[in-house]
Amino acid sequence: MGKYVLIESRDPFDSADCKNFRDLASGLAKGGNEVAFFLTQNGVLPARRGCAAEGSLAELGRSVSVLADEFALRERGIDADALVEGVRPASIDALIALIMEDGRKALWH
Amino acid sequence: MAKTLTLVLMDPPYEKETTTTGFRIIESALRQGHNVKVFAYEGAVNLTMKDQQPHPNPVKGTTVEQEQHPTTKDWVAALFRMGSGSPKLEWINCGLCVDERGAGNWIEGPRRGGPKELAEWVQATEATLVIPTK
């Protein structure tokens, strides 16, 4: 089975195709692949508790590792303790570690 | 163990946050000891244009110094200083994209290339990340 890191940079209220990217992540996980889903830029916005999109992100977090870029969170004034359950803050260094992992493919949206 | 990342950038400077994120990715990879090969195409060939200048803000009445306006060519130059030895930063500006934009006067470091070099990089390096424009 494969390993993937999917990088979501868009806000679902700005880009309706974010759902397709989340579906791709969950589909890969259901297929037995190891998937990390890294939120960056406006992609971190739905990770706030109380956001209308939080449900789908929390659901995704039950099947894949969902990480949120600490820098993007800080830029937008989102505290780590305000994140949806299942989403963990992570550094850009952690993203590089994932990208450089043997056999892991990186996809940007 | 040092590996090599091929990073493909497409966005022009001063337009999107992806430029900053791309630079953060390069900086982090170099800092962690990985080599980085950047293929800049379309508007991204303007990231390294030598003639970029910081500017004052006439609306606020602030000077160039007060604005501390960052230019992408200075950021790229700083990344080249990080990646001047081992780990190493390489940067290709797509020649066709450069010619279309008249963007051939760039800082020290990048070189001219094309899709052939990108294909070779992708095949030869451990990881590839493409950051397309929206």
A1-16 core/surface letters (b: 16 or more CB in 10 A; e: else): eeebbbbbbbbbeebe
Domain that holds residue A102: 3-108
pLDDT of B23-61, one tens digit each? 999 999 999 999 999 999 999 999 999 999 999 999 999
Q: How far is A27 from chain B (nearest CA, A)?
A: 21
* A41 has a chain B CB within 8 A of its CB: yes
pLDDT of residue A98: 98
Please list every residue in chain A whose beta carbon sits closer than 8 Å to the beta carbon of residue B134: 10, 15
The arrangement of strands across the sheet holding B111-113 comes to B111-113, B89-94, B35-40, B4-9, B127-131
DSSP A45-102: GGGBTT-TTHHHHHHHHTTSEEEEEHHHHHHTT--GGGBPTTEEEE-HHHHHHHHTST
Instruction: For chain B, give the number of residues.
Output: 134
User: Is A1's pLDDT higher than 90?
Assistant: no
Q: Measured between CA atoms, how close is B37 to chain A, in angstroms?
A: 13
Are the beta carbons of B34 and A96 separated by less than 8 Å?
A: yes
User: 1-40 in B: which are within 8 Å (CB) of A?
Assistant: 3, 5, 17-18, 21, 24-25, 28-29, 31-32, 34
A92 Cβ under 8 Å from any chain B Cβ: yes
B16-20 mean pLDDT: 96
Give the nearest partner residue to B21 out of A41, A93, A100, using CB atoms.
A41
Q: What is the CATH number of the domain that holds A91?
A: 3.40.1260.10
Domains of chain B: 4-51+71-131 (3.40.1260.10)
User: What's the confidence (pLDDT) of residue B1?
Assistant: 80
- For B65-123, the pLDDT digits (tens) are 999 989 999 999 999 999 999 999 999 999 999 999 999 999 999 999 999 999 999 99
Tally the domains of chain A.
Answer: 1
